[in-house]
Amino acid sequence: MDLFEYQGKQYFARYGIAVSAGGVAMTVDEAVAQAQLAEYPVVIKAQVQVGGRGKAGGIKLANNADEVRTHAKNILGMDIKGHIVKRVWVEHASDIAEEYYASFTLDRSAKRHLLMLSAQGGIEIEQIAVTDPTAIVKLHVNPIEGLSLDTAQRAAIDARIPEKAVSGVAAMLVKLYECFTKGDCDLAEINPLILKPNGEVHALDAKVTLDDNAAFRHPEWEEYRATEELDDRERLAREKNLQYIGLDGTVGIIANGAGLAMSTLDVVNQVGGEAANFLDIGGGANAELMTSALEVINSDTKVKSIFINIFGGITRGDEVAKGIVEAMKRVKLRAPIVIRLDGTNASEGHEIIANAGIPESQLISRPTMLEAARAAVELAGRE
Amino acid sequence: MAIFVNENTKVLVQGLTGGQGRFHGLRNRSYGTQVVAGVTPGKAGQDVEGIPVYDTVEAAVAATGATASFIAVPPKAAPAAILEAARAGIGFVVCITEGVPAQDEARVFATLQRDFPKTRLLGPNCPGIISPGKCNIGITAGEIAALPTRTGPNVGIVSRSGTLTYQALYELKQLKIGVSTCVGIGGDPVPGTSFVDCLAEFQSDPETHAIIMIGEIGGSAEEEAAEFITTHVTKPMSAYIAGVTAPAGRKMGHAGAIVSGGKGTAKGKMDALHIAGVKIGLNPTEACELMAQIVRGL
């Protein structure tokens, strides 16, 4: 789960990382009230999960309530690369002497944590990586040894952080590492990490991605769920506990297993169609689950055909077939189904479907993934 | 021959008294796997359809001589279960648990590396391993796997995805191609066993004559495999990478399956494998058909 900047800053603050005083606002009046609390001058920042906010006009400085009104009015509702701004973060404007970059991620090929640190912050790290790769220090941290203050200090020196900022940056890195590990982040990034004229080191931005698998030990994440930007289809799927991602095509997809679902998208694409979604129904494809899945797909008005691709391993073909037949009684579908059912008890499954008396205009069966994909794409293309 | 497991492998099931452990443990036993013990703290003295249950892995190993462990416990308990098996001297641990936090996986992997280098972990979040006719540990339905033939050629399978592993097993069976071993390494960010580990084993396994690899978007495991294939693998290979059409920045079900910052794309992985001499199928069926052509030429 990706956090908004203001949530990331609140999360950082839990681990003692210095951030600016500020608050979140959804209306112009709220923004003015937050500015009062933060003390002028303030910065008003659009809260969207996409880069390039500044260039798009989503970050503005304000010296008084009138300026806050003007800027907040412009920014709230603004469309930044397809993301509509619903909230602004209003914080006290910081004096900036220098800007650095710091982040922790998991380096999967090394199977170690990776610190990236640079004395050149404020711009895209990818850009620095291309123009001046030596400006980024990359340091692996063994997850069972952790990051000591000594090691952090050496990293800061290696990154050519000026002497006056080294101890402040090192202390910040240790806290950020703590946030990354104990806070179960996939990514904890500060860009820019700033040095103020008074010598303080401070996080001016926050980019945090949380590991959904660790939600069980973080009850405090509950509030972040409420602000997740899901479309209606995704919200419905979440309620039904389905692994669903909305896409833009016309062929609705239901498959068992993430790999097979991805593969189904690929095959539909190969035969000239476009998938409307990714939906992994998981191992227990019973009537309940199948009904939920079909409800979610059915709520997508773009869907013109539905491709159900099931390979029975543990999942049994007869159970899946019963599920489909039962689900079709419960849900009035707007689009026809093409099913490919293979593996454990597939022939029993085909028999159940054949005996259910469903007309061919509503459900057809094809023996292989490719043939089923072709049929589904063909149906989706009909008007 | 087979890799990692064989007919002599003695398996204990951590979590045998739970729903998943019982279901799959008993299925593995009816397939012919030697399932010798179960472990559930506080349930020593009980049995599950004749399989004795012990409080600890150590006690189970002492009583039964188990050499491998099948872990089917919830995500909260999985890291401790893996390390308990390693401490008790288990050499091969299969953990099917889905939903283990990445930070825990990283710590477990580093601990195994430092303190228990002789223990190999497969998973977490993997379907397990099957050596057809000899041993099946995990959730694969044994009947979809073709037995290897005495004279070959037989194919080894290594895959990051569960259902696509079954798909490959099933298609090879339709094509009447024997399978030496099929390993599902799982789709999580820090898998205990990698593509490279499996490729190295298949390369030196005399019963394996060709290899199918099934990868997916995210990470760089397929690119690392391609590098290894170039220098170390002489057996012919075919491959399929799932997720060509996956949008960037969205997790496709597996924690590992995400394209981020333009890295980990299916195209990049296919190109790397193609350059390494691997025949690339654009869907699982095609990868298996390519394998059939390879096998016919052997």
Nearest residue, CB atoms, B106 vs list A143, A245, A258: A143
What's at B258, amino acid-wise? I
Instruction: For chain B, give the mean pLDDT.
Output: 94
Give the side-chain half-sphere CA count within 13 A for B160: 33
Predicted confidence band at A186 (pLDDT cuts at 50, 70, 90)?
very high
Interchain pair B102, A368: CB under 8 A: no
User: How many CB atoms neighbour CB A301 within 10 A?
Assistant: 10
| Strand pairing report for B237-242 and B210-216 | parallel
**Inter-chain contact B244–A269, Cβ cutoff 8 Å?**
yes
What is the pLDDT confidence band of residue B259, given thresholds at 50, 70 and 90?
A: low
User: Which of the four pLDDT bands, split at 50, 70 and 90, describes residue A291?
Assistant: confident
Contact B103 A256 (CB under 8 A): no
Distance CA A91, CA A18 (A): 13
Tell me if A109 and B261 make a contact (CB, 8 A cut-off). no
d(CA B229, CA B160): 17
Q: What is the DSSP string of B157-195?
A: EEES-HHHHHHHHHHHHHTT-EEEEEEE--SSSS-SS-H
Contact between B139 and A176 under an 8 Å Cβ cutoff? The reply is: no
Q: Which residue in A91, A52, A92, A53 sits closest to A74, CA to CA?
A: A53
Flag whether A14 is in a domain. no
Write down the catalytic residue from A101, A177, A224, A244. Answer: A101
CA of A345, closest CA in chain B: separation in Å?
Answer: 11
In a domain, A221, yes or no: yes
CATH classification of the domain holding A108: 3.30.470.20
**First CA to last CA across chain B, in angstroms?**
19
Residue B60's alpha-carbon distances to A234, A341, B44, B53, B282, in angstroms, are 46, 41, 9, 8, 46
pLDDT digits (tens, 9 = 90+) for A312-327: 776 788 888 998 998 8
**Rounded-to-integer distance, Cα A286 and Cα A312, Å:** 12
Q: What average pLDDT does range A23-51 have in this prediction?
A: 94
Choice among A39-43, A213-217, A239-243 with the minimum mean pLDDT:
A239-243
Domain-ending residue, one of A225, A255, A276: A225
How many other CB atoms sit within 10 Å of the CB of residue B151? 7
Q: What is the mean pLDDT of residues B1-14?
A: 94
Q: What is the pLDDT of residue A343?
A: 80
Tokens 């080294």 locate to A166
Please report the beta strands in chain B, taking only residues with DSSP state E, as ranges in sequence order.
10-14, 34-39, 47-48, 51-54, 68-71, 92-95, 120-122, 128-131, 135-138, 154-159, 178-184, 210-216, 237-242, 279-280
Cα–Cα distance, A325 to A169 (Å, whole number): 62
Contacts of A371 (CB under 8 A, 6+ apart): A340
Q: Are residues A131 and A174 in the same domain?
A: yes
Whether residue A276 sits in one domain with residue A199: no
Q: What CATH number is attached to the domain comprising A252?
A: 3.40.50.261
Three-state helix/strand/coil letters over chain A = CECCHHHHHHHHHHCCCCECCEEEECCHHHHHHHHHHHCCCEEEEECCCCCCCCCCCCEEEECCHHHHHHHHHHHCCCEECCEECCCEEEEECCCCCEEEEEEEEEECCCCEEEEEEECCCCCCHHHHHHHCHHHEEEEEECCCCCCCHHHHHHHHHHCCCCHHHHHHHHHHHHHHHHHHHHCCEEEEEEEEEEECCCCCEEECCCEEEECHHHHHHCHHHHHHHHCCCCCHHHHHHHHCCCEEEECCCCEEEEECCHHHHHHHHHHHHHCCCCECEEEECCCCCCHHHHHHHHHHHHCCCCCCEEEEEEEECCCCHHHHHHHHHHHHHHCCCCCCEEEEEEECCHHHHHHHHHHCCCCCCCEEECCCHHHHHHHHHHHHHCC
How many structural domains compose chain A?
3
pLDDT at A197 over 80: yes
Among residues A36, A66, A92, the one where a domain terminates is A92
A345 within a domain of the structure (yes/no): yes
pLDDT, position B262: 61
Residues A254 and A208 in one domain: no
Quote the radius of gyration of chain B (alpha carbons, Å).
Answer: 18
For residue A263, give the nearest of B102, B256, B283 by CB distance.
Answer: B283
Nearest CA in chain A to B138: A314
Q: What is the pLDDT of residue A284?
A: 64
CATH class of B145-296: alpha beta
Residues A182 and A319 in one domain: no
Asked, colleague to colleague, whether B10-122 and B145-296 share their fold, the answer is yes
Q: In chain A, whose CA is at the least distance from the CA of B286? A: A370
Residue ranges of the domains in chain B?
10-122, 145-296
Q: Are A331 and A377 within one domain? A: yes
Q: Does pLDDT of B255 surpass 60?
A: no
- Do A368 and B285 make contact, defined as CB atoms within 8 angstroms? yes
Chain A residue numbers touching B256 (CB-CB < 8 A): 108
* H-helix or E-strand spanning residue B108: helix B102-115
pLDDT at residue B260 greater than cutoff 90? no
pLDDT higher than threshold 70 for residue A357: yes
Q: Is A344 close to B224, i.e. CB distance below 8 A?
A: no
Tell me whether residue A1 is in a domain: no
| More confident position, B167 or B260 | B167
Cβ atoms of residues A211 and A185 within 8 Å: yes
Can you tell me the distance from the alpha carbon of A129 to that of A164, in angstroms, rounded to the nearest whole number? 25
In a domain, A246, yes or no: yes
Q: Are A70 and A107 members of one domain?
A: no
Q: Determine the Cα angle at B117 with ends B116 and B119, to 5°.
A: 70
Distances (CA, A) of B49 to B17, B26, B35, B46: 10, 8, 11, 10
**pLDDT tens for residues A256-283?**
988 999 999 999 999 999 999 999 987 6
Contact between chains at A313 and B140 (C-beta distance less than 8 A): yes
Find chain B residues with C-beta within 8 A of A261's C-beta: 252-253
Q: Cβ of B163 and A256 within 8 Å?
A: yes
Q: What is the pLDDT of residues B178-236, one digit of tens each?
A: 999 999 999 899 999 999 999 999 999 999 999 999 999 988 899 999 999 999 999 99
| d(CA A183, nearest CA chain B) in Å | 9
Select from A211, A247, A256 the Cβ nearest to the Cβ of B103: A211
Q: Which positions in chain A touch B216 (Cβ < 8 Å)?
A: 259, 262
Tens-digit pLDDT profile for residues B116-174: 999 999 999 999 999 999 999 999 989 889 999 998 899 999 999 888 999 999 999 99
Per-residue confidence (pLDDT) for residue A127, from 0 to 100: 78
Backbone angles phi, psi at B296, to 5 degrees: -60, -30
Tell whether A212 is covered by a domain.
yes
Residues A207, A245, single domain; the answer is no
What's the whole-number mean pLDDT along residues A10-21?
95
Respond yes or no: is residue B232 known to be catalytic. no
What angle do the packed helices B162-174 and A258-270 form, to 10 degrees? Answer: 70
Mutate to test the interface with B, among A114, A218, A262 (most CBs of B within 10 A): A262
Mutation for testing the B interface, residue in A107, A108, A318 having most B CBs under 10 Å:
A108
Taking domain B10-122, whether its CATH number is 3.40.50.1820 is answered by: no
Residue A52, pLDDT score: 82
Beta pairing, strands B210-216 & B154-159? parallel
Whether A127 and A64 share a structural domain? no
- Do A328 and A217 fall into the same domain? no
CB-based contacts of A355, cutoff 8 Å, min separation 6: none
User: Is the CB of A258 less than 8 angstroms away from the CB of B252?
Assistant: yes
Query: Contacts of residue A343 in chain B, CB cutoff 8 Å?
Result: 141, 144, 166, 170
**The predicted structure's pLDDT at residue B248:** 74
The answer on A297 and A165 residing in a single domain is no
User: Can A101 be counted among the known catalytic residues?
Assistant: yes
User: Is A10 part of any domain?
Assistant: no
Check residue A383 and give its pLDDT.
61
Best of A50, A263, A314 to substitute, by most chain B Cβ atoms within 10 angstroms, is: A263
Tell me the residue range of the domain where A57 lies. 21-92
Provide the ipTM: 0.91
Nearest to B283 among A184, A255, A270 (CB): A270
Q: Do B252 and A261 touch (CB under 8 A)?
A: yes
| Secondary structure of residue B131 in the 3-state scheme | strand
> Per the residue annotation, which of B24, B209, B254, B274 is the catalytic one?
B254
Query: Helix, strand, coil proportions of chain B in percent (round to 5)?
Result: 35, 20, 40
The domain boundary residue, chosen from A225, A247, A278: A225
What pLDDT is recorded for position B298?
87
3-state secondary structure of B19: helix
One domain for residues A122 and A213? yes
Question: For residue B13, what pLDDT is reported?
Answer: 98
| Interface mutation target, options A181, A250, A260, A319, chain B, most CBs of B under 10 Å | A260
Nearest beta carbon to residue B245 from set A106, A256, A275: A275
Count residue pairs from A and B with Cβ separation < 8 A: 163
Helix (H) or strand (E) holding B269, with range, is: helix B266-275
Computed on alpha carbons and rounded to an integer, the radius of gyration of chain A in Å comes to 26
Residue located via tokens 């095609």: B286
CB contact under 8 A, A313 and B219: no
Same domain, A262 and A337: yes
- The share of chain A scoring above pLDDT 70, in percent, equals 98
